[in-house]
C-alpha cells in the first residue's frame, strides 16, 4: 500500500501554507471524502493535523458507543451465560442480539468497511481488507443462524472484536499524533501579528500576511521575530535554537540578518522585512521536512512490500485454515472462528506503521536540531559512511583569522601594552592580520592610541610614532633582513602567521594569528573515530597550514591547495577504493562534489536552505552536528529494524496459534484475544518510534 499517495489527496489541495495564520483556516471546506482513513498516512501540516484529531475523536466515540452496546450482547449470549452459570430467558433473545450486533457491525465497524472499499478500489488489499472480511464473515454467518441456519452464533465475539479494534486504532492514532506534533511545533513558531512602523513613525499591529518586503517592523524584547529581515536599528541577543539547534543566543546588531521564528532577547529591534510567508526560512524548512516525510526510502519500500505480502499470506492462510478444519470434520463455527482469528491477527498494522512513524519523527526532530534531511535514503545510509571528507574553512576551523597568542619579551612592556601599541598602527587597515588584531583588542576592551607619522614599509609591514615611541609591526622577513634575533617560541605552530613588534628598533614581542580550530572539532572527530570513520580534509589552503590542522586534530589525511573542481576527483578516487563517502561542503562551490558523494552534507549556509545538491543540510557549520547526524542516522535505522523485526516476528508467531496448531494440546486463540494482541503489537511499534526523540543530541 503506498502510504504516501494518500497524503496528497488529503491536504496539499487545500492549503499550500501561503498564509501562516492557521487560526483562520477553514476546515469546513476540506474534502474529507478524499482523505484516506488509514494510518500509513501520517498527515502533516496543519490541515492534516486537525483532520487527524477529528479521526481520533471519531474512533473514540465509536469505541465508547460500541462498548456500551457490547455489554447487553455479552449478557444475552448463551455461551457467556453457560460460562458464568446463569440463565436469562429474554423473549426474542436472538433478535435483540442481532439488532444490537448490527449496530456494532455497521456503525462501529464502519471505518474498517470504508477502508476496505478504498483498498479494493486501489487494488492494494491490506489491513482494512483483513479486518473487514473477518468481521463481515462473522456477522453474516451469525445473522444466518438467527434465521434458521444450523450452528452457533458468535455475536459476542464479533462485538468484542470490533470494540478492541476500535480501541487499538484509537490508541495507536494518539501515539501517531506525536509524530506530527514535532512539525506542528515548527509551524507554530511564527507569531500571528507584527508591529509595523508607519511612515510618520507610528506603530500599528498588523496581521502577518499583510507584511510586504521592505516594511519596517518593530520587535519588542522577548517577542518572536515575525519575518526574515535585516536589522535597521538596535541590537540584541537572539535565540535561534529552535531553528538552527545553536543553543547559545546570538548577538545581532545593525545590518545583521534575523530569521523569522527566532526569539528576541532583551533589546528592542527595528528590522526591514526581507522575506515573508512562502519565501521565509522557516517555511522552507517546513516544506523540506514535509517533502522528506513524504519521500520514500528503501526501508519504506521494503516494508510496504512486506505488508502487501503479509495481506496475501493472511488471506490464503485464512481460507486454508477454514478448509483444513472442515475437512478434519470440525463444526463450521469452529473452522470459521479459526479463520476470523487468523485474519485479525495477521493484519499488517504494525508493519504498515513500523517505518512511516520513525520517518516522521526522525525528520521533525532532526529539523529542530539544525539537521534538514532532503534525501531519506541518504540519511538512513549515513550509518554506512566509512570516509568523511571535510572542506576545512569554516567547518573544522572557525573560518576567522584571529589572534591565537601574543607575547612580550621586553620586561618593561606588558603583553597587553604591546597589543595596544600594535593596534594604533592597524586600526585603519583592511588586511586580515590587521582585522584579526583589532578584533582581539576590542575583545579585551583595550583603548586604541593615536598614531603619527604613519608609513608603510614596502612588503614588510608598517611603522608610526605612538605615545612618542617609534613602533613597527613587521613580518619575519624584516627581522631576517635586519639580522634581528627572533624571540624564542615565536614559531611554535606551523599553522600560525606571526608578526613582530619593534619598539625603538628593538624586538619587543610578537603576535601570532591563525584560523582557529573550532573547539567542537576535536570532540566530533573522536566520535567519527569511535564509529570507524576515516576523517579527511580537502582545503584550498597551503600544505603547511593543512598539515598543521591535520596533525592537531589527528586526521587520517589531507589534500591541500585543492581547487573546487578537484574535490569531485577526490570523492571519486575514495569511492573507487570502496569507501562510502560523505562530503561536507558549503553547498555552492562544492555542488559537484556533494552530488558525487554517497551522502552530501551542505554546511553552514545558515538561512540559505536551498542547497540543491546536498542530501542533508546542516544549519550550523558545527562538525559536532555531523557526528550527531551519523549517530542519529544509526539510531533511526536501528528503530526501523527493531520495528520491522517486532512486527514480522509477532505475526509469524501468532498466525499458527490462531490457525489452531496447538489445538491438540488444548490451546486455541480466540478472535477477541487475537485482536488484543494485534492492537498491542501496533501500540508497541508506535511507542518504540517515539523513543527515538530521546536519542538525538547525545553525541
Q: What percent of the chain has pLDDT over 70?
A: 84
Query: Is residue 339 a contact partner of residue 321, using CB atoms and an 8 Å limit?
Result: yes
Give the integer Cα–Cα distance in Å for 658 and 343: 9
Beta bridge partners of 408: 509
Last residue of a domain, one of 516, 531, 559: 516
Give the integer Cα–Cα distance in Å for 352 and 2: 10
Measured in residues, the chain has a length of 699
Type and span of the H or E element at 374: none
pLDDT of 457 above 60: yes
Residue 571 within any structural domain of the chain: yes
If asked whether residues 223 and 350 sit together in one domain, one would say no
If asked whether residues 36 and 159 sit together in one domain, one would say yes
Q: Mean pLDDT across the stretch 475-498?
A: 81
Give the integer Cα–Cα distance in Å for 509 and 122: 80
If asked whether residues 565 and 471 sit together in one domain, one would say no
Q: Is 198 left (phi over 0), alpha (psi -120 to 50) or beta?
A: beta
- Between residues 271 and 242, the one the model is more confident about: 271
Give how far Cα 271 sits from Cα of 195, 250, 345, 580, 657, Å.
10, 16, 60, 45, 68
Residue 366 within any structural domain of the chain: no
pLDDT value for 56: 85
Q: In what order do the strands lie in the sheet with 236-239?
A: 250-252, 236-239, 263-264
Type and span of the H or E element at 606: none
pLDDT value for 29: 34
If asked whether residues 524 and 390 sit together in one domain, one would say yes
Closest CA to 177 of 43, 342, 322: 43
pLDDT of 23 above 60: no
pLDDT of 10 above 50: no
Q: Mean pLDDT across the stretch 398-421?
A: 83
Q: Which three cell numbers stand for residue 304?
A: 510496504
The catalytic residues are 391
Confidence of residue 310 (pLDDT cuts 50, 70, 90): confident
If asked whether residues 113 and 204 sit together in one domain, one would say no
pLDDT of 16 above 60: no
Residue 308 within any structural domain of the chain: yes
Q: In what order do the strands lie in the sheet with 616-618?
A: 371-373, 616-618, 599-603, 581-585, 387-391, 534-538, 557-559
Last residue of a domain, one of 498, 516, 534: 516
599-651: per-residue pLDDT in tens?
A: 988 875 444 444 556 788 887 778 888 888 888 888 888 998 998 888 878 77
DSSP code string of 48-99: HHHHHHHHHHHHHHHHHHHHHHHHHHHHH-HHHHHHHT-----TTHHHHHHH
Q: What percent of the chain has pLDDT over 90?
A: 13
Question: Reduced to 3 states, what is the DSSP secondary structure of residue 209?
Answer: helix
Residue 699 within any structural domain of the chain: no
Query: Is residue 109 a contact partner of residue 159, using CB atoms and an 8 Å limit?
Result: no
Question: Reduced to 3 states, what is the DSSP secondary structure of residue 536?
Answer: strand
Confidence of residue 175 (pLDDT cuts 50, 70, 90): low
Q: Which residue has the cell 608603510?
A: 456
If asked whether residues 293 and 325 sit together in one domain, one would say yes
Q: Which three cell numbers stand for residue 403?
A: 589572534
If asked whether residues 168 and 299 sit together in one domain, one would say yes
pLDDT value for 410: 80
pLDDT of 22 above 70: no
Query: Is residue 558 a contact partner of residue 539, using CB atoms and an 8 Å limit?
Result: yes
Last residue of a domain, one of 260, 279, 298: 279
Total structural domains within the chain: 4
If asked whether residues 214 and 307 sit together in one domain, one would say no
Residue 631 within any structural domain of the chain: no
Give the integer Cα–Cα distance in Å for 175 and 464: 72
- Is residue 661 exposed (0-12), middle (13-18) or buried (19+ Cβ within 10 Å)? middle
Q: Mean pLDDT across the stretch 680-686?
A: 84
pLDDT value for 18: 38
Q: Which three cell numbers stand for residue 549?
A: 590542522
Type and span of the H or E element at 27: none
Confidence of residue 295 (pLDDT cuts 50, 70, 90): low
If asked whether residues 166 and 44 sit together in one domain, one would say yes
Q: Which three cell numbers stand for residue 332?
A: 463450521
Task: Note the helical H segments in 78-210.
Answer: 78-84, 93-103, 110-121, 127-146, 155-187
If asked whether residues 533 and 591 sit together in one domain, one would say yes
Closest CA to 7 of 31, 39, 43: 43
Q: CATH number for the domain including 546?
A: 3.40.50.1000
pLDDT value for 2: 45
Question: Reduced to 3 states, what is the DSSP secondary structure of residue 202?
Answer: coil
Residue 90 within any structural domain of the chain: yes
Beta bridge partners of 36: none
Structural domain of 34: 3-186+288-361+640-693
97-113: per-residue pLDDT in tens?
A: 899 999 999 999 999 99
Q: Which three cell numbers stand for residue 547?
A: 598539515
Closest CA to 533 of 579, 567, 576, 593: 579
Residue 634 within any structural domain of the chain: no
Q: Which three cell numbers stand for residue 58?
A: 471519531
CA dihedral (617, 621, 624, 626) positive or negative: positive
Give the integer Cα–Cα distance in Å for 239 and 688: 31
Chain centroid to Cα 194, Å, comes to 29
If asked whether residues 15 and 160 sit together in one domain, one would say yes
The reply to whether the predicted model has a pTM over 0.85 is no
Give the integer Cα–Cα distance in Å for 600 and 611: 10
If asked whether residues 502 and 428 sit together in one domain, one would say yes
Q: CATH number for the domain including 493?
A: 3.40.1110.10
Question: Reduced to 3 states, what is the DSSP secondary structure of residue 193?
Answer: strand
Q: Which residues contact 79 (CB under 8 A, 6 or more apart)?
A: 152, 154, 156
Closest CA to 556 of 399, 385, 388: 388
Q: CATH number for the domain including 254?
A: 2.70.150.10
Residue 570 within any structural domain of the chain: yes
Amino acid at each position: 500500500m503506498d502510504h504516501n499517495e494518500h497524503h496528497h489527496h488529503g491536504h496539499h489541495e487545500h492549503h499550500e501554507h501561503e498564509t501562516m495564520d492557521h487560526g483562520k483556516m477553514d476546515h469546513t471546506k476540506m474534502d474529507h471524502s478524499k482523505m484516506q482513513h488509514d494510518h500509513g498516512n501520517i498527515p502533516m501540516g496543519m490541515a492534516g493535523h486537525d483532520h487527524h484529531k477529528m479521526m481520533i475523536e471519531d474512533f473514540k466515540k465509536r469505541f465508547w458507543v460500541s462498548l456500551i452496546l457490547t455489554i447487553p450482547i455479552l449478557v444475552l449470549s448463551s455461551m457467556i451465560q453457560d460460562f458464568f452459570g446463569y440463565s436469562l430467558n429474554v423473549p426474542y433473545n436472538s433478535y435483540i442480539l442481532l439488532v444490537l450486533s448490527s449496530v456494532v457491525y455497521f456503525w462501529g465497524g464502519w471505518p474498517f468497511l470504508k477502508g476496505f472499499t478504498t483498498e479494493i478500489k486501489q487494488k492494494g488489499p491490506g489491513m482494512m481488507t483483513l479486518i473487514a472480511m473477518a468481521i463481515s464473515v462473522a456477522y453474516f454467518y451469525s445473522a444466518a443462524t438467527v434465521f434458521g441456519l444450523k450452528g452457533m452464533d458468535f455475536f459476542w465475539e464479533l462485538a468484542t472484536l470490533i470494540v478492541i479494534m476500535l480501541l487499538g486504532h484509537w490508541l495507536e492514532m494518539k501515539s501517531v499524533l506525536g509524530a506530527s506534533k514535532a512539525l506542528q511545533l515548527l509551524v507554530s513558531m511564527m507569531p500571528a501579528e507584527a508591529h509595523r512602523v508607519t511612515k510618520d513613525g507610528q506603530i500599528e499591529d498588523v496581521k502577518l500576511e499583510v507584511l510586504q518586503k521592505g516594511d519596517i517592523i518593530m520587535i519588542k524584547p522577548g517577542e518572536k521575530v515575525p519575518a526574515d529581515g535585516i536589522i535597521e536599528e538596535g541590537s540584541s541577543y537572539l535565540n535561534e535554537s529552535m531553528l538552527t539547534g545553536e543553543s547559545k543566543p546570538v548577538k545581532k546588531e545593525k545590518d545583521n540578518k534575523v530569521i523569522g521564528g527566532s526569539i528576541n532577547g532583551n533589546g528592542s529591534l527595528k528590522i526591514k522585512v526581507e522575506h515573508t510567508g512562502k519565501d521565509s526560512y522557516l517555511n522552507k524548512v517546513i516544506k523540506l521536512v514535509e517533502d522528506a516525510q513524504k519521500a520514500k526510502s528503501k526501508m519504506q519500500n521494503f516494508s510496504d512490500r512486506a505488508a502487501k505480502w503479509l495481506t496475501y499470506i493472511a488471506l490464503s492462510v485464512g481460507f486454508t485454515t477454514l478448509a483444513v478444519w472442515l475437512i478434519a470434520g470440525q463444526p463450521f463455527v469452529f473452522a470459521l472462528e479459526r479463520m476470523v482469528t487468523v485474519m485479525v491477527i495477521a493484519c499488517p498494522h504494525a508493519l504498515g506503521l513500523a517505518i512511516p512513524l520513525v520517518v516522521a519523527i526522525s525528520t521533525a526532530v532532526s529539523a529542530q536540531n539544525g539537521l534538514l534531511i532532503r534525501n531519506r535514503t541518504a540519511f538512513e545510509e549515513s550509518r554506512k559512511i566509512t570516509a568523511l571528507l571535510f572542506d576545512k574553512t569554516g567547518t573544522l576551523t572557525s573560518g576567522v583569522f584571529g589572534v591565537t597568542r601574543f607575547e612580550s619579551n621586553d620586561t618593561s612592556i606588558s603583553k597587553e601594552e604591546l597589543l595596544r601599541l600594535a593596534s594604533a598602527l592597524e586600526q585603519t587597515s583592511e588586511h586580515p592580520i590587521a582585522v584579526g588584531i583589532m578584533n582581539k583588542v576590542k575583545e579585551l576592551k583595550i583603548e586604541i592610541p593615536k598614531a603619527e607619522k604613519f608609513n608603510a614599509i614596502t612588503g614588510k609591514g608598517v611603522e608610526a610614532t605612538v605615545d612618542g615611541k617609534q613602533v613597527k609591526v613587521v613580518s619575519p622577513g624584516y627581522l631576517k633582513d635586519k639580522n634581528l634575533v627572533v624571540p624564542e617560541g615565536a614559531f611554535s605552530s606551523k599553522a600560525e602567521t606571526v608578526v613582530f613588534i619593534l619598539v625603538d628598533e628593538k624586538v619587543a614581542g610578537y603576535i601570532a594569528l591563525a584560523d582557529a580550530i573550532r573547539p567542537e572539532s576535536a570532540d566530533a572527530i573522536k566520535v567519527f573515530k569511535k564509529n570507524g570513520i576515516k576523517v579527511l580534509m580537502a582545503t584550498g589552503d597551503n600544505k603547511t597550514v593543512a598539515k598543521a590542522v591535520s596533525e592537531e586534530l589527528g586526521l587520517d589525511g589531507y589534500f591541500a591547495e585543492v581547487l573546487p573542481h578537484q574535490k569531485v576527483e577526490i570523492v571519486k578516487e575514495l569511492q573507487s577504493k570502496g569507501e562510502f563517502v560523505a562530503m561536507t561542503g558549503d553547498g555552492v562551490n562544492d555542488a559537484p562534489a556533494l552530488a558525487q558523494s554517497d551522502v552530501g552534507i551542505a554546511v553552514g549556509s545558515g538561512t540559505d536552505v536551498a542547497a540543491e545538491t546536498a542530501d542533508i543540510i546542516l544549519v550550523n557549520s558545527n562538525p559536532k552536528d555531523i557526528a550527531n547526524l551519523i549517530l542519529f542516522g544509526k539510531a533511526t535505522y536501528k528503530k526501523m529494524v527493531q520495528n520491522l523485526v517486532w512486527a514480522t516476528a509477532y505475526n509469524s508467531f501468532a498466525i499458527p496459534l490462531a490457525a489452531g496448531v496447538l489445538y491438540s494440546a488444548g490451546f486455541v486463540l480466540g478472535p477477541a484475544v487475537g485482536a488484543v494482541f494485534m492492537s498491542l503489537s501496533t501500540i508497541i511499534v508506535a511507542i518504540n518510534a517515539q523513543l527515538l526523540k530521546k536519542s538525538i543530541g547525545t553525541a
